[in-house]
Amino acid sequence: MTKNKNIQQVSFWERNRKSEGYLLKKKIMEIAVVICRFILLFGLCFLILQPILNKISVSFMTEPDLFNPIVISIPVHFTTDNYRVTAEIMNYSKGIVNSLVISFTVSLLQIAVCTIVGYGFARFKFPLKNFWFACVMLVILIPPQVISNSLFIHFRFFDVFGIIKAIRGEALNLRGLPIPYYMMSAGCMGLKNGLYIYMIRQFFRNIPNDMEEAAYVDGCGTFKTFFTIMLPEGKPIITSCFLFSFVWQWTDGFYSKMFLGTTTLLSTSIARLVDSIGAYIQRVQGIKTTVSVAYSNCILGTGTLMLVAPLLVLYLFAQRQFVESISSSGIKM
């Protein structure tokens, strides 16, 4: 006990002298690493956050403020007009409802189907399993752009083995309706669905076999096992896949443009935002004017903020699920 105390009382410099300068060197190195790391991380975090902060400050400026060289981040004439204008151009209230409904239903459907398929790949042995799993890999690898033009025609002249043509006399035109996208989602061919199948399969593979066997011994059927034992087990991965799916669907432009062109969605209306500013101003003021670059960028920035605001709120609350999901699935190759 006394010996222990003695060691503690020896001063830092004493210990340093005894270790022939090693201790001091190590301490300096440690402090240097901490300082370098702080500078680096601070810089990079600033780099990522700065555009958002910048957009927030710009979105409260009036047009004269944008051209005022003294104004950098705090507006002189504080205004919420930009939000009003942007909301009107983007048809925000309608767009956000549509986006919510479409993103929610689509990702719910996709994740439900992907969970079933992923579970099937993880827990059952059946002939040709490796072949079908290679197909899942292929779905991840093939960019949807490759098949987009063919799908375009496929749904323009939709038919199931000529049945519809026999009844109606011509093929169905499903373009512009959300039905094709729901059909694709039900068939695991939506946005990044291969990835979700892969992640969910990885997760279910790590669950020990004993649970299933115990359930079987107790008289639990295959489907009951899935619903009552495996689904609660897989809650974390399913929630996080759902979150990813929701977020990516929300901001997706490709599928939305292709299948949901006529539905007012936030992600598609923001792409047209800059082009519609001129027309909007002309309609309101009755004069034909050219919109300055600064102002159109201000509106675009405001629109972007309004697009991501719901997602940011979601991220704030569900950040753990986003991040830990992939860690828990243990992706390996």
Footprint of another protein on 275-294 (CB under 8 A): 293-294
Distance of CA 283 to the CA centre of its chain: 36
CB of 58 to another protein, least distance (A): 9
Question: What is the DSSP-derived secondary structure letter of residue 229?
Answer: I
Tell me how many residues contact another protein (CB under 8 A): 89
Helix residue ranges, H only, the chain: 2-9, 12-18, 22-59, 63-67, 81-90, 92-123, 129-141, 144-156, 163-168, 179-186, 193-205, 209-217, 222-225, 231-233, 235-251, 254-259, 266-271, 273-285, 293-329
For residues 70-89, one letter each, b for 16 or more C-beta atoms within 10 angstroms of the residue's C-beta and e for the rest, the string is ebeeebeeeeeebbebbbeb
d(CA 111, CA 185): 9
| Candidate residues 129, 227, 231, 235; the one interacting with another protein per rule CB under 8 A | 129
Query: Which residue stretch of 14-22, 94-102, 275-283, 316-324 sits at the interface with another protein (rule: CB under 8 A)?
Result: 316-324
Residue 144 binds another protein, judged by CB under 8 A: yes
**Binding to another protein in span 219-248, by CB under 8 A:** 222-223, 226, 244, 247-248
| Binding map of another protein across residues 58-77, x = CB under 8 A, - = no contact | --------------------
| Candidate residues 28, 97, 135, 279; the one interacting with another protein per rule CB under 8 A | 135
| Candidate residues 113, 200, 241, 306; the one interacting with another protein per rule CB under 8 A | 113
| Closer residue to another protein, CB minimum distance, 85 or 199 | 199
Query: Which residue stretch of 11-19, 100-108, 142-150, 277-285 sits at the interface with another protein (rule: CB under 8 A)?
Result: 142-150
Environment class of residue 7 by beta-carbon count within 10 Å: exposed (0-12), middle (13-18) or buried (19+)? Answer: exposed
d(CA 87, CA 92): 5
d(CA 149, CA 153): 7
Residue 313 binds another protein, judged by CB under 8 A: no
Residue 213 binds another protein, judged by CB under 8 A: no
| Closer residue to another protein, CB minimum distance, 108 or 300 | 300
Residue 126 binds another protein, judged by CB under 8 A: yes
| Candidate residues 18, 25, 154, 224; the one interacting with another protein per rule CB under 8 A | 154
Q: Are 275 and 35 in contact (CB under 8 A)?
A: no
- Compute the half-sphere exposure of residue 35: CA atoms within 13 Å on the CB side of its CA: 6
| Closer residue to another protein, CB minimum distance, 284 or 312 | 312
CB of 173 to another protein, least distance (A): 9
